[in-house]
């Protein structure tokens, strides 16, 4: 890593003296080191706790690989294949194309039930040839693509014809869309589902069994839009998928039609909006990419206008919508110790031609100790992004981003329950980008060199992105560098929380207008906030209760 962490190891918390809760906007401190707690997170907090006005913090402890209940495996089960050994004989010098060799090893591991596909130190030249949508494709559970470390193993993508392609894509052979139900599995909800419950009541639970994976969602209706500032999102009904949760059934009571689920709901779903559950084709799981670096040959073109991605023949068009890593419908997977790098053939500083990582329809994926930098194209239409979240309950931990369009980015109503923990945005904006990404946590986020985080409404695009989040939490945020503010909440609505800030930048833009249900306490007092990390404390509490 090229930066220094101030983080404590997970679950290792400093024992501090605890004082009483502080009233909203009325906190006073004898000095900046006086220990304090949020009024929304008292010492005796339990999941479901609300204040007198019904405000509450979600339990964010369920995120990441197996909900934080087991470590990412150092020795995954299955076969071990060295891609430089026969019959694969991938070239670690980068002189010849290693795509077929590495893909063959991935396929053998997948068809064998899983295992490690090992890339020893070296540089491996790959490319998505022909009509393929990726250079390397993982489509079976249990496959781990492993290098010798980000400073030793390098994947060099030699193609600049990358429009809507990925360098590494993990996706099941069938399905991959949470809004494409399997036939005859749809069951309407009989009662409104209320967050943060861990159950729903359906009209008929007879076809469900413990262990089933289900999607719980609703339609975006006119009444739903009216509850979320109608003038900002008037084109949403009938066009956008709604808030959605991917859950595993933990119990079924056929007499009462109660279905218990493994992770709490993150938002209310109403029968008025056709709330329902159903099943989709299965995900893949136990998939990992670890201990390597990824780089792309830079595009030689010079047409990089903000809207040029629409125009065939431009450089922007050629690279639009590409990703280094695309995870689609992956559950309990990981991306660990993956960096980007500048290939020697690149004349400019570029690492990748556009985006870094997307987690689309994913749940329980952990991304840790990653370092993403230098996107060549950062134009419109979704280019130059670092860590894109479009799923449930994923964890980004100890990660870094620089020279991107956005670093941490939440897109869509089904991007909920995610946590960005002890990570860094270096001089680059991050944001809740579009369409009500509810109930996410930014915990000990470091906004360096003037970086900000946008949590504001966005009515000004050609297709209005509208209100971008509700019920999200910024916990103990650091703002360094020049600038007037570190978080922008203008036009937001619903209960969101900014609890504890530190560093030279602590101002929140939008609170001096109308805070729209955004609550800020502990300005400039994050260094004395107890607990230091909300995620770590909630995980510790839940695991202790389980044990």
pLDDT tens for 427-446 read 999 999 888 899 999 999 99
The pLDDT value given to residue 226: 83
The pLDDT value given to residue 14: 32
Question: 402-413: string of b/e by CB count within 10 Å (b at 16+)?
Answer: bbbbbbbbbbbb
Q: Round the average pLDDT of the chain to a whole number and report it.
A: 91
The rounded percent of the chain whose pLDDT value lies above 90 is: 81
- Enumerate residues 6+ apart whose C-beta is below 8 A from 281: 172, 174, 175, 176, 180, 182
Q: Which two tokens stand for residue 192?
A: 């409104």
- Enumerate residues 6+ apart whose C-beta is below 8 A from 434: 411, 412, 458, 465, 466, 468
Q: Where are the domains of the chain?
A: 187-278
What is the C-alpha to C-alpha distance for residues 319 and 315, in angstroms, rounded to an integer?
7
Higher pLDDT, 232 or 530: 530
Bridge partners for 123 per DSSP: 93, 154
Express each pLDDT in 131-184 by its tens digit: 899 999 999 999 999 999 999 999 999 999 999 999 999 999 988 899 999 999
**C-alpha distance from residue 224 to each of 162, 190, 234, 276 (Å):** 38, 18, 11, 15
On the question of pLDDT at 386 being above 50, the answer is: yes
Query: The dihedral of CA 57, 59, 61, 67: what is its sign?
Result: negative
The pLDDT value given to residue 464: 72
Ranges of H-type helices in 295-356: 315-319
Express each pLDDT in 302-335 by its tens digit: 999 999 999 999 999 999 999 999 999 999 999 9
On the question of pLDDT at 515 being above 60, the answer is: no
On the question of pLDDT at 221 being above 50, the answer is: yes
**C-alpha distance from residue 25 to each of 223, 445, 500, 518 (Å):** 33, 22, 12, 12
In this structure, what DSSP letter does residue 68 have? G
**What mean pLDDT is predicted for residues 447-460?**
88
Bridge partners for 421 per DSSP: 397, 443
On the question of pLDDT at 449 being above 90, the answer is: yes
Q: Chain centroid to CA 12: how far?
A: 24
What is the C-alpha to C-alpha distance for residues 478 and 406, in angstroms, rounded to an integer?
18
Count Cβ atoms within 10 A of the Cβ of residue 198 and give its class: 0-12 exposed, 13-18 middle, 19 or more buried.
middle
Task: Report how far apart the first and last C-alpha atoms of the chain are (Å, whole number).
Answer: 35
Express each pLDDT in 51-61 by its tens digit: 998 899 999 99
Q: Are 189 and 205 a contacting pair, CB within 8 Å?
A: no
**Could you give the 3-state DSSP secondary structure of residue 508?**
strand
Mean pLDDT is lowest, of 3-12, 122-131, 351-360, 480-489, for 3-12
* Closest to 330 measured CA to CA, from 92, 127, 140, 117: 140
How sure is the predictor about 7, in pLDDT bands with cuts at 50, 70 and 90? very low
The pLDDT value given to residue 353: 98
Mean pLDDT is lowest, of 220-234, 330-344, 499-513, for 220-234
Express each pLDDT in 232-280 by its tens digit: 566 677 788 899 999 999 999 999 999 999 999 999 999 999 999 999 9
* Residue bearing tokens 């339609």: 219
Model confidence, pTM: 0.93
Q: Chain centroid to CA 221: how far?
A: 26
**What mean pLDDT is predicted for residues 447-454?**
96
């Amino acid at each position: 890593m090229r930066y220094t962490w101030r983080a404590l190891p997970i679950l290792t918390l400093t024992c501090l003296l605890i004082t009483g809760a502080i009233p909203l906007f009325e906190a006073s401190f004898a000095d900046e080191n006086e220990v304090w707690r949020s009024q929304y997170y008292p010492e005796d907090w339990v999941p479901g706790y609300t204040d007198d006005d019904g405000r509450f913090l979600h339990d964010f402890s369920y995120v990441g690989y197996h909900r934080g209940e087991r470590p990412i495996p150092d020795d995954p089960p299955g076969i071990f294949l060295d891609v430089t050994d026969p019959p694969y004989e991938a070239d670690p010098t980068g002189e010849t194309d290693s795509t077929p060799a590495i893909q063959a090893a991935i396929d053998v591991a997948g068809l064998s039930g899983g295992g490690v596909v090992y890339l020893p130190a070296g540089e491996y030249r790959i490319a998505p040839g022909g009509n393929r949508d990726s250079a390397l494709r993982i489509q079976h559970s249990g496959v781990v693509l492993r290098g010798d470390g980000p400073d030793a193993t390098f994947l060099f993508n030699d193609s600049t014809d990358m429009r809507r392609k990925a360098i590494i894509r993990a996706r099941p052979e069938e399905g991959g869309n949470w809004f494409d139900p399997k036939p005859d599995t749809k069951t309407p909800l009989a009662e409104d589902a209320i967050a943060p419950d861990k159950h729903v009541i359906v009209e008929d639970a007879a076809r469900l069994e413990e262990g089933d994976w289900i999607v719980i969602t609703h339609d975006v209706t006119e009444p739903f839009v009216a509850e979320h500032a109608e003038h900002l999102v008037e084109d949403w009904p009938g066009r956008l998928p709604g808030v959605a949760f991917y859950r595993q059934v933990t119990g079924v009571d056929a007499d009462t039609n109660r279905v218990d689920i493994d992770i709490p709901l993150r938002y209310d779903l109403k029968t008025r909006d056709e709330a329902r559950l159903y099943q989709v084709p299965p995900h893949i799981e136990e998939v990992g990419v670890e201990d390597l670096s990824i780089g792309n040959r830079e595009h030689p073109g010079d047409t990089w206008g903000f809207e040029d991605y629409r125009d065939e023949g431009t450089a922007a068009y050629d690279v639009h919508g590409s990703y280094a890593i695309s995870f689609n419908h992956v559950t309990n997977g990981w991306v660990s110790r993956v960096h980007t790098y500048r290939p020697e053939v690149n004349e400019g500083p570029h690492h990748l031609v556009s985006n870094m990582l997307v987690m689309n329809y994913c749940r329980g994926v952990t991304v840790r100790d990653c370092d993403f930098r230098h996107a060549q194209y950062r134009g419109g239409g979704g280019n130059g992004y670092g860590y894109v979240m479009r799923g449930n309950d994923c964890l980004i931990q100890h990660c870094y981003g620089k020279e991107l369009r956005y670093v941490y980015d939440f897109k869509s109503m089904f991007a909920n329950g995610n946590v960005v923990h002890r990570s860094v945005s270096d001089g680059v904006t991050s944001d809740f980008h579009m369409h009500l990404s509810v109930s996410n946590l930014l915990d000990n986020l470091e906004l360096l060199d003037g970086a900000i985080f946008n949590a504001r409404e966005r009515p000004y695009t050609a297709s209005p992105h509208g209100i971008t989040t509700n019920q999200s939490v910024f916990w103990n945020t650091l703002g360094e560098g020049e600038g007037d503010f570190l978080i922008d909440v203008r036009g937001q609505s619903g209960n969101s929380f900014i609890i504890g800030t530190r560093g030279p930048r602590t101002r929140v833009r939008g609170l001096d207008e109308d805070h729209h249900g955004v609550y800020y306490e502990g300005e400039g007092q994050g260094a004395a906030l107890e607990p230091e990390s909300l995620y770590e404390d909630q995980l510790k509490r839940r695991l202790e209760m389980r044990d």
